[in-house]
Amino acid sequence: MGQLFELQMDHELVTEGYWSEYLLYDDGQWFDHRCEIVPTICQVMSSLAAVAGVVEGFDEAEAPGQITILRMEGGSSLAPHCGPRNSRLTAHLPLIVPEIEEPSVDEPVGLRVGEPGGEAAAAEWRRWEEGQVLIFDDSFEHEARWPEATEEVNQSRH
């Protein structure tokens, strides 16, 4: 599926490395030709009313969501940024997380949500773990960083 990924729409956020996406649903429209490759994801997600922007008791949530498979290569960083509205939550479900060498204390790794220097708990860096969902309100400032994979992982790719 790697060759099917496209340059991420927000490519200007990439300060280093490469970030791409495989868009499945956006602006109320499913991309059926892509869903044919990952039918289970599309079937499950299309059964959720919230994906279409229908959230009972919350009128502002009428904007449809977006479903995309993102690919962030090792050695990539995304600049701090905010999502377009606060009527949605973003969920990251890591499928493959390459092993990395433990970075130094002053080299943050993973996902940071919240103002740096703000409340300690709000701006803490969280690591992605395979199969563990991270859910956050992307209207708050957030950024992402992932270093190069360890030599063992790089060698196993060839």
Q: Does the pLDDT value for residue 158 go beyond 50?
A: no
Q: For the segment 78-129, what is each residue's pLDDT rounded down to a tens digit? A: 999 998 777 778 888 888 888 877 766 667 788 999 877 655 555 688 888 9
Q: Please tell me the total count of domains within the chain.
A: 1
Q: How far apart are CA 2 and CA 74, in angstroms?
A: 14
Residue 27 burial by Cβ neighbours in a 10 Å radius (0-12, 13-18, 19+): exposed
**In CATH, what number is assigned to the domain containing residue 64?**
2.60.120.330
The predicted pLDDT at position 66 comes to 84
Tokens at residue 107, please? 């080299």
- Can you name the residues that pair with 16 across neighbouring β-strands? 77
SS3 4: helix
- Does the pTM of the predicted model rise above 0.85? no
Q: How far apart are CA 29 and CA 31, in angstroms?
A: 7
Tokens at residue 60, please? 């502002």
- Can you name the residues that pair with 90 across neighbouring β-strands? 136
Measured in degrees and rounded to the nearest 5, phi and psi for residue 6 equal -120, 160
Q: Domain span at residue 149?
A: 2-157
The predicted pLDDT at position 100 comes to 79
Q: Which of 124, 135, 42 is nearest to 90 (CA)?
A: 135
Q: For the segment 34-92, what is each residue's pLDDT rounded down to a tens digit? A: 999 999 999 999 898 777 766 676 665 566 778 888 888 888 999 999 987 777 788 88
Q: Residue written as tokens 């990251």?
A: 92
Q: How far apart are CA 60 and CA 139, in angstroms?
A: 14
Q: Using pLDDT thresholds of 50, 70 and 90, give the confidence band for residue 152.
A: very low
The predicted pLDDT at position 84 comes to 79
The predicted pLDDT at position 88 comes to 75
Q: Which residue has the higher pLDDT, 154 or 41?
A: 41
